Structure 1
Amino acid sequence: YSETLLSWLDHENAAVAWGGHLASITSLEEDNFINGIQGFENPSWIGAERAGSGTYFWTDNSSFDYTNWDDNEPDASGLCVLRDQDIGWLDFNCNFVAYGVYKQPYDEPTKMPSKLPSDAPAKSPSKNPSKHPSFALTSLYFGDSECTLNPTPMTWDQHESSAIEWGGHLASVTSVEENNWIASLLQSDEVWLGAEKGGGSGVFRWLDLSNWDYDDYTSGEPDGDGGCLVKESAGTWADAPCTNLYYGIYKQPYHEPTKLPSDSPSDVPTTIPSMNPSRQPAFTLTSVYFGASEYTLNPTPLTMVQHQAAAIAWGGTMISVTSAEEDAFIATLTNSDNVWLGAEKGGGSGGF
């Protein structure tokens, strides 16, 4: 259970790095079990999202047979599912920051034979993607995306874990131009793409939540022989068993660093931090205290999303203001400057 306030996608990435996914909930017993983990006042993301067809699925591909929706839910106000212990499940804006419940299969460690062949590894490889070795890959650019081709034959899950370590996902392909560009990088090689079938529905969806508006299937595909999407040597797409070993094409948004005005104070960073929290540069800010809380003021002009990412990298979140005294304290720090607070409109209700 993660008490870090993150968006649904950031929690899912963290869960995959941990070795699992945001939690699927497949029975009343499991739902009640999670009650013992999640506090009553802590709405938390779980591992369900809505596919383009309007159906919901679990990111770990569990069957979506059990639900615990609140009254009048889902109401199409968001693509991701938030679990509120008081009222049940809600579909919600995926960018809302909340806690997260993670889940992975538990495999009891198996002892290796006392005598190993001389060419056998002394230890089994770690199943935790966060322990994969770092790797150096060449960045390529298409439109507003940064891509890289990993020519190591691996399973779909292994490539997705490496893509998250790199800062993105296996690539979504949303236009014929992008599809042709990826084909130009390959030499009749098969490469994993960033789509999988969700929730037993048989419907593919992009991991980065891109709209499924374009496809390029081989004739007769998908034919149901696998849960993951591969770009075949002929250049068209097919479903394939996720354990097959292919190359991987990775993708993440590209944000060119933006310089601040040349007359910025000398103690202000000269570039805007990356929006990817895993790539946030370390920054030094002065801590101040009010009551039982630690605060810091970041004087860099950023969007709210960028400040929220920086706040999470610092170890907190954008601030809540819960009293007139706290509001007055914050006013003493800001010197008549506009400053973001940690509230946003959620769930399509228009309320903060």
Structure 2
Amino acid sequence: NVLLLTVTRCPEDAEDWHYFNGWCYSLSEAAEGWFGSEKACQKLGGHLASIASREENSFVQALGQCEQNAWIGLVKTDVSDRKFSWWDDAPFNYTERFSININAYYDCCPEGWLAIEGSCFYVSSKRTNYFNAQISCESMGATVASVSSRREQVLLTMALGCDSRIWIGLEKVKPCLSDSSKSYCYMWMDGSEIGYADWASGHPSSSNEIECTYTLGRWYTTNCYNEYNFVCKKK
């Protein structure tokens, strides 16, 4: 589905809104076309979003879980000159393709680690199987990362980007702990409870050969011996 992206100052009831750099964002089912979507945004006290930086663009991409299209507030204002402008009159200074400098997220963590929601994350450029990823993380006093909330998932996706599959620390357990939900067949290796889950459609798999989890905007299960990049987490 095509979604619309709205931005406004944070409302009092911000459960479905996501904070970034002083603004709140929300994804909703799109109204009819661009103008219908902008009108729907205005009813919520905002506009279709303008994007002013690489960091904001990566946040928007992460909010859409790397797979959803979204209307934004960029419109052609002069057909003959092919000029574009932001509908909310924001300066049109940022036009680069999405990329992110992970060093921008360094804050009270060891050098090369990212500070996200009170934890430190390390994104490895090395591709390896899940078990070797866990060994590498443990050697740094960490574990393959758990994800405890929607906001943490968005910020982590923002740092990881949408181009590579990344191991996270969610493993299948045997026997399954509950028959009520397939999520209970999995557990975080750092002992965290699965209070939040972001499975992609068709996942987790019920196959006995698929026992580990990677993220690519959302969570997917696969064979643990596949080789992907990985992310470590520690307090």
- The structure with more radius of gyration: 1
User: Which of the two has greater strand per residue?
Assistant: 2
Q: Which has the higher contact order (CA 8 A, sep 6+)?
A: 2
Instruction: Sort the TM-score into its range (normalised by shorter chain).
Output: 0.3 to 0.5
